[in-house]
Amino acid sequence: MQHYYTADEVRSAEAPLIDALPEGVPMRRAAHGLAAAVVSELRSVAGGVNGRRVGIIVGSGDNGGDALWAGAALRRRGVAVEAFLLTPDRVHSDGLAAYRRAGGRVVTELTKPDLVLDAIVGLSGRGSLRPDAARVVSEITAPIVAVDLPSGVDPDTGAVDGPAVNAAVTVTFGALKPVHVLAGDRCGRTVLVPIGLDLAPSAITAFTDDEVGALWPVPGPQDDKYTQGVVGVVAGSDTFPGAAVLCVGAATTATSGMVRYVGTGRDEVLRHWPEVVATTELADAGRVQAWVIGPGAGTDGEALDTLRSLLATDLPVLVDADGLTLVAEHPELVRDRSAPTVLTPHAGEFERLTGRSPAPDRIAATRTLAADWGVTVLLKGRATVIADPDGQVVVNDAGSSWASTAGSGDVLSGMLGALLAAGLKPNVAAAAAARAHAVAAGLAASGAPVSASPLLQAVRPAIRSLRHNR
């Protein structure tokens, strides 16, 4: 499991390490790892190291010192290094001295580097790039390696409110920070350099592919279609029959058990998925271990009555789409539940539920809703944020935004519902479904736009891929 630590948590862990080691040792450890990552990237993008040109944009903090020490190491490897000092009167003096001794040059303009180090701000940085830094960054055409985090991106929220760095690689020290999973598009590939921090498990985590593959329900020798989990789906309508097909299809694909469908899309569902037990009346649905309700199901009085009936049970219930619209108007339906409830809003639905946008701090916003309502919340996005009422957070960086397409959420709901019915805890089911959904989107897209139908078709290969990673 990956752990992510806030800026304050990292600073607290750094303090005893700095006190225990000779002065400058932690910085030189960081610089050694940074230089090694730059060498690797130079070999990848420029075909070698000797004679290549690296530019460093140096700010006033310790990140500037890390980069200057790394620049000195790169000079010894035969790299031509230029440093642009944004604040010449406030620069890490020991790092600059080491850099100059190694033959590094200080310049007033970078001259066609093969790669640039962003050492403008570090964990203490807040807000967008200042005008001078923004101008220098805007003129860069070479790949950028960010030191600790891309400057202009908030370390704890990943938020960007103005000019900021887009990095090809981010080299961070001691621990991963929330920015590395919340703003993966800005960070590029993230490299973690250990420096000896002693860290307890964090409250913000991410599942690895191996972990998702290992926890995915697999039928045992004594299992049958009932013991593997039966999921009920209330989705679709005369207006949106496709939502039923997608949601039921995802549930069917994600489980080896059984799917029961209730709704007006019965005939259309059976045309696509004849293995599903389908009816138009909730009273005829039969027993299930978890319910999914909402995708395309409507918001009229009948839909509200059905939602109320399901939430009155002692079964896990996932509420999505139209169901969230109804819950926003009747929050007491979920606030009073003792059974597990999962809400899966996108940003607009989140705002309807709470009256406010989840931005800029999506983790804090998701935590607050989960705690206030006593539910598990999955906030959709490229970086999906999942929070439990106890404050634990699981984040999944999809690695792309290919899944941002109509009907994609219906597929996610069906997958998640199947995992709930199989007995996984809500936050674990949500994290596993989000990861498999992201892998499926990547497989379906293969670098080109994708719609929900091919994404659904890629769910089974995605699960197979995750399980083979064990």
Binding residues for AMP, as ranges, are 380-384, 409
Question: Residue 43 contacts by C-beta under 8 Å, 6 or more apart in sequence?
Answer: 49
35: nearest Cα among 74, 77, 87: 74
**Helix (H) and strand (E) counts in the chain:** 19, 18
Q: Look up tokens 């932690």; give the residue.
A: 26
- Angle formed by the axes of helices 426-445 and 408-421, to 10°? 140
Report the binding-site residues for K(+): 63, 118, 151
Tokens encoding 104:
């590094």
Would the CA dihedral through 66, 70, 71, 76 be positive or negative? Answer: positive
DSSP string computed for 400-451: SSTT-STTHHHHHHHHHHHHHHTT--HHHHHHHHHHHHHHHHHHHHTTS---
Are 205 and 176 in contact by the 8 Å Cβ rule? The answer is no
What ranges make up the beta strands (E) of 37-177?
53-58, 80-85, 105-107, 115-119, 144-147, 169-173
Report the binding-site residues for (6S)-NADPHX: 62-66, 122-128, 148, 243, 296, 346, 410
Question: Distance (Å, rounded) from C-alpha 120 to C-alpha 136?
Answer: 11
Amino acid at 141: T
Tokens encoding 16:
């005893």
Q: Look up tokens 């598990």; give the residue.
A: 376
Report the binding-site residues: 62-66, 118, 122-128, 148, 151, 243, 296, 346, 380-384, 409-410
97: nearest Cα among 57, 126, 64, 130: 64
Centre a 10 Å sphere on the Cβ of residue 417 and count the other Cβ atoms it contains. Answer: 36
